Amino acid sequence: MRQQTNSVAGELDRAIRHHQAGQFDAAGAIYSRILDSNPNHPDALNLAGVLAHHTGDQETAIRLIEQAIRLNAGNASYYNNLGEAYRAFDQNHDAINAYEQALRIDPRDVAANNNLGLSLQVLQRYDDARVAYERALALAPNDVEVLLNLGNLHREFSHLEESAGAFRNAIAIAPGLAASHASLGVTLYEAGDSQAAVAALLKAVELDPLYLEAHENLKKIRWFSGQHEQVNDSFRAACERMPDSARACQNLGAALLVSQDYAGAEQALIRATRLQPDLGDAYHGLGQAYHFLERLEEAVAAHERAVACAPRNALFREEFGATLISAGEYRRAASELRTGHELNPRRSAILAFLSIALNELGDPSVNELVDYERFIRVAQIDVPEGYDSLEAFNADLHEELQTHFHNPHRPMDQTMRGGIQTPNNLFQNPTGLIRVLKEQITKVARKFIDDLGSDRGHPFLRFSNREFVFTGVWSTIIQESGFDRSHVHNEGWMSGTYYAKIPDFDEAQMSEHDGCIQFGEPNRMYASERNTTQRIIAPQVGTVVLFPSYYWHGVRKFDRNGVRHSISYDVK
């Protein structure tokens, strides 16, 4: 028996080495072999669950780790791993319970304290998250990861001086870590010091030319500063510094895709595939470039290569499905998109493209997926205390919100045209009438969620959560001739809009549905007789509109008579 135990321990050690080296198939084969002979081996169950978590299969991860816990409930690391799987699945309440149990077993667990802070932060529990991070730092004062998380927490809640202090402490401990400089750069930009922000971000990409987030933030700052011709300079500089790096070429190609330079993206991505023939991200980008260039046969072939490189990548399946729709291969598209949904059931765009394919196939199951009567709620908020009417409240709200518009340039990836938009999350630590609006929308949304109920078999209802948080809130002012192209929201489970001010539409405009929100018609690449507008809702001051985040929706153009001011939001 002792010899058998030693043999299993040796096998586990070998599997862990494979796991840590990123050799997931080899590690998984060993875990499976151990569990075939001993299905109740808690360490093997736990490690197999961690492997499932690392490969994106959170439901399997949760099932395996919970089984390990039933066999050994006194292991703090099991609960921490369970929390990580729940957090990756956006089930942060369950994650918090798991982390807290880990800390009951071992209060000095730095990782559990740090991870608890991350889940509390997602739920916007600022004070509790700060306590968790500070508790971790009391145990490990030089833990740079915790300092970065604390700095990000302070920034999210606009405590910019404290945020910069945390990042500078991280830099003092590990001056060569690019993430600290990049994070400091974002905070400095939000504090209004663009020059120092650019310097910090340039330091980050100097330290790590492949640090994508730093490049992307540099790109945004340059865009909002009006330096539109320079937005991709740091990506190009990385390629010059690392001419043999496939990842540098792939990052440049992805950046050029966002800038709609599809020919340039093709050139960069082809070079990436030649440098590293198994780089799935490069084939994924190539497929997108060929799709936009309407070279669909080449696009399909590129997507096939991407999926072959990473079969469990849901985003690869999503873009492959979109390209197959354009190629008229609707049945194959539906198959790829269903696989993508299984891999990432929270990704809105996958369901949105699936609805297109099902409509083209005449598949009646689409009616359950996109029930435009049942799953769209239109309701007015109550008249807030201190006001005689919604009109008076919204007039003041409109004036207050106008102070939040700073950038004359719309975001690069924004579907809105002919208007301006606020940055960040307006409901993060709100004050004044914005706080009142948050309370009112929350009340309407909770009533809608209660009326809907929950259904684990439905892609929308399975994630029903009345204790939701606002993952994004932004205010948009569209002027005459403005509109919002049809799109979906990947940051939400449920999305919505609220109307603070609307144009004085005349009878002709009303009959043409000017300025109305429409549901069901995708963007023009996919619109057809089978994929067209299914429901139109006219804007009304004081009205909330709620809908699943995967519903195609957009705002119709209007050509005269004023300003359309709305507040849009995503919740999870």
CATH number for the domain harbouring residue 493? 2.60.120.620
Q: How far apart are CA 36 and CA 311, in angstroms?
A: 25
- Bridge partner residues of 472 (DSSP): 570
Residues found in the chain: 572
One domain, residues 470 and 553: yes
Q: What is the pLDDT of residue 512?
A: 81
The span from the CA of 345 to the CA of 359, in Å, is: 20
Strands 543-548 and 377-380: antiparallel
Rg (CA), the chain: 25
Domain co-membership, 352 together with 381: no
On whether both 352 and 383 belong to a single domain, the answer is no
Output the six-digit token pair for 278: 């198994």
Residue with tokens 């369901």: 351
- What is the model's pLDDT at position 407? 59
Structural tokens at position 344: 């990432």
Scored b (16 or more CB within 10 A) or e, 504-533 reads ebeeebeeebbbbbbbbbbeeebbeeebeb
Given 367, 390, 405, the domain boundary residue is 367
DSSP state of 561: S
**559, 412 Cβ separation under 8 angstroms:** no
The lowest-confidence range among 189-198, 407-416, 516-525 is 407-416
Using pLDDT thresholds of 50, 70 and 90, give the confidence band for residue 418: low
| Among the ranges given (79-83, 146-150, 343-347, 545-549), the one the predictor scored with the smallest mean pLDDT | 343-347
> Rounded CA gap, 375 and 372, in Å?
6
State whether 326 and 466 are in the same domain.
Answer: no
Instruction: Evaluate whether 449 touches 379 at the Cβ level (below 8 Å).
Output: no
Structure confidence at residue 515 (pLDDT):
82
Identify the weakest region by mean pLDDT among 55-59, 63-67, 333-337, 502-506: 502-506
Would residue 277 count as lying in a domain? no
- 454 and 328 inside one domain: no
Q: What is the pLDDT of residue 376?
A: 98
Same domain, 517 and 557: yes
Looking at the domain assignment, is residue 452 inside a domain? yes
End of a domain among 367, 386, 401?
Answer: 367
Interatomic CA distance for residues 471 and 215, integer angstroms: 23
Same-domain check for residues 333 and 439: no
pLDDT (tens digit, 9 = 90+) per residue, 462-493?
A: 999 999 999 999 998 887 666 678 999 999 99
Rounded Cα distance between 540 and 545, Å, is: 10
* Structural domain includes residue 347: yes
Q: Is the pLDDT of residue 3 over 50?
A: no
- Model-level pTM? 0.88
Rounded CA separation 334/466 (Å) = 31
Q: Answer whether residue 418 is part of any domain.
A: yes
DSSP state letters, 429-489: S--HHHHHHHHHHHHHHHHHHHHH---TTSTTGGG--TT--EEEEEEEEEEEEEEEEEE--
Q: What's the domain count of the chain?
A: 2
360 and 504 fall within a common domain: no
Do both 330 and 461 map to the same domain? no
Model pLDDT for residues 351-369, shown as the tens digit of each residue: 999 999 999 999 999 999 9
Same domain for 491 and 465: yes
Residue 148: the pLDDT is 98
pLDDT tens, residue by residue, 377-414: 999 999 999 999 999 999 999 999 988 876 555 555 55
How far apart are the C-alpha atoms of 478 and 230, rounded to whole Å? 27
Residues 6+ apart with CB under 8 A from 481: 418, 557, 558, 559
At residue 520 the predicted structure's pLDDT band, cuts being 50, 70 and 90, is very high
| Residue 336 and residue 430 in one domain | no
Question: What is the phi-psi region of residue 567: left when phi exceeds 0, alpha when psi lies from -120 to 50, beta otherwise?
Answer: beta
Q: What is the mean pLDDT of the chain?
A: 93
Q: Are strands 470-487 and 564-571 parallel, antiparallel or unpaired?
A: antiparallel
Q: What is the pLDDT of residues 106-138, one digit of tens each?
A: 999 999 999 999 999 999 899 999 999 999 999
Q: Does residue 336 sit in the same domain as residue 384?
A: no
Domain assignment of residue 492, yes or no: yes
Q: Is residue 461, in this structure, part of any structural domain at all?
A: yes
Confidence grade of residue 1 (pLDDT, cut at 50, 70, 90): very low
Share of the chain above pLDDT 90, in %: 84
Q: What is the pLDDT of residue 413?
A: 58
Cα distance between residue 199 and residue 205, in whole Å: 10
Please report which confidence band the pLDDT of residue 564 belongs to, taking 50, 70 and 90 as the band edges: confident
Considering only CA atoms, which of 247, 242, 222 is closest in space to residue 233? 222
Count the Cβ atoms, other than its own, within 10 Å of residue 452.
18
Burial class (CB in 10 A: 0-12, 13-18, 19+), 362: exposed
Whether the pLDDT of residue 276 is over 80: the answer is: yes
pLDDT exceeds cutoff 50 at 267: yes
In a domain, 177, yes or no: no
Residue 135, in any domain of the structure: no
Report the chain's terminal Cα–Cα distance, integer Å. Answer: 50
Which domain covers residue 320, as residue numbers? 311-367
Is residue 112 within 8 A of residue 143, CB to CB? The reply is: no
* Alpha carbon distances (Å) from 217 to 162, 228, 280, 282, 408: 21, 14, 24, 21, 18
Residues 6+ apart with CB under 8 A from 352: 488, 522, 550, 551, 552
